[in-house]
Homo-oligomer: A and B are copies of this chain.
């Protein structure tokens, strides 16, 4: 990426984060209703902390940190970069204020802008690019965390008029057949990718069919009406415990009101649109639905090979692959090496991208991952057999 390119990219990505937060009230920036949701204020600060800590501090001679306390407050999981505050306490930290966090962003943006002007070192450029992709990941989390905060408020406030984000429909139906054979998997070429996509390697795939469209609300309602949430034969054992311990009987954000299914959208409470693509299901629900249909979820390898001929991008699609290292994967040394590798256990891979994914962030080889019970992302189901 050239210098001009990186400055503009930096500017655009940083502005987009602030655009996402535009409709928020000051109070909305504060809470952390559950451990996996972070306060919007924290996202704003943490993505800034990345640039200050990994770019400015080591590379700008005499760089003056905006506030040394921020390292402690806005570090997320980088054990290599000093103490960090408990993840579950983020919602109680009222100071620095939102305003102060915006000032922090502005300070770092100005320093970065000056620094990027003459930057040619390819390693640092790569690290800046990583920081931008990191911020884009937090942009998607911002959208889903804001949805969580507003969607659990008894008043169901509207985030932004005219944009409910869950009304998208499939453009194709039927199944695609992929023949048996050896295929290449993993990132290739010049563009950016995360370390977990590297190590292009061969896999052997048996012939399979993969659906051209994602499961719709109507199809999922049929599963619900057929007693899907009550039939343990359809569920993984841990899924069945999850259903019962949490009294799950519908996708996240769904509410039965006056005999009809509604869901909370970023545009407020709406009737469920039967033809729209299903969203906010866990891996457990995706697997049970597939079992009910007599099908299965695709593996991440099947997905990656089929993707060239699929219309993908409205939901993160649960695959039946556990999140594990590719052959030859190795962690980068130091703090940046904590980015992906240490999460490679007890999570499932999601492929594709969602309506909340930032522009330019998606890739066919992208490996997203979440725990099997998580469903506050825009997650959906594609069937295979």
**Residues of A that sit less than 8 Å from B by CB:** 25-31, 33, 41, 69, 72-73, 77, 79-80, 85, 89, 91-98, 149-150, 152-155, 157, 182, 201-204, 206, 208, 232-233, 235-240, 283-284, 287, 296, 320-322, 324-325, 327-328, 337-338, 342-346, 348, 372
Given contacts A94-B153, A343-B236, contact A29 B31 (CB under 8 A): no
Q: Which chain B residues lie closer than 8 Å to A80 at the CB level?
A: 233
Query: Chain A's interface: helix, strand, loop or mixed, by majority?
Result: mixed
- Name the CB-closest residue of B to A346: B346
Q: Is A98 within 8 A of B27, CB to CB? A: yes
* Tally of this chain's copies: 4
CA distance A381 to B321 in the complex (A): 24
Given contacts A69-B154, A346-B346, contact A94 B30 (CB under 8 A): yes
Distance (Å) between the CB of A339 and the closest chain B CB? 11
Q: Which chain B residues lie closer than 8 Å to A345 at the CB level?
A: 236-239, 283-284, 287, 348, 372
Closest 3 CB pairs of A and B: A322-B322, A27-B94, A33-B92
Distance (Å) between the CB of A79 and the closest chain B CB? 5
Q: Which chain B residues lie closer than 8 Å to A154 at the CB level?
A: 69, 72-73, 85, 93
Q: Which chain B residues lie closer than 8 Å to A155 at the CB level?
A: 69, 73, 95-96
Q: Which chain B residues lie closer than 8 Å to A69 at the CB level?
A: 154-155
- Other contacts beyond A25-B94, A25-B95, A240-B342: 12, CB < 8 A: A27-B27, A27-B29, A27-B41, A30-B30, A73-B155, A93-B153, A93-B154, A94-B149, A203-B203, A236-B342, A283-B345, A320-B324
Q: Is B204 within 8 A of A182, CB to CB? A: yes
- Name the CB-closest residue of B to A79: B232
Given contacts A149-B92, A346-B372, A372-B345, contact A97 B237 (CB under 8 A): no
Q: Which chain B residues lie closer than 8 Å to A348 at the CB level?
A: 345
Report which of B204, B320, B372 forms a contact with A203, defined as CB distance below 8 A: B204
Given contacts A85-B154, A154-B85, A182-B182, contact A31 B346 (CB under 8 A): no
Q: Which chain B residues lie closer than 8 Å to A96 at the CB level?
A: 155
CA distance A90 to B88 in the complex (A): 16
- Name the CB-closest residue of B to A101: B27
Q: Is A237 within 8 A of B30, CB to CB? A: no
Distance (Å) between the CB of A286 and the closest chain B CB? 11
Q: Which chain B residues lie closer than 8 Å to A31 at the CB level?
A: 30-31, 91-92, 94
CA distance A284 to B344 in the complex (A): 11
Q: Which chain B residues lie closer than 8 Å to A41 at the CB level?
A: 27
CA distance A338 to B236 in the complex (A): 9
CA distance A339 to B152 in the complex (A): 29
- Name the CB-closest residue of B to A291: B331
Q: Which chain B residues lie closer than 8 Å to A344 at the CB level?
A: 236
- Name the CB-closest residue of B to A98: B27
18 A-B pairs whose Cβ atoms sit less than 8 Å apart in the complex: A28-B95, A30-B30, A30-B94, A33-B89, A69-B154, A69-B155, A73-B154, A79-B232, A80-B233, A92-B149, A93-B154, A95-B150, A95-B155, A182-B204, A201-B206, A204-B204, A236-B345, A346-B346
Q: Which chain B residues lie closer than 8 Å to A283 at the CB level?
A: 345
- Name the CB-closest residue of B to A284: B345
CA distance A97 to B94 in the complex (A): 15
Given contacts A324-B320, A346-B346, A372-B346, contact A97 B27 (CB under 8 A): yes
Q: Which chain B residues lie closer than 8 Å to A296 at the CB level?
A: 325
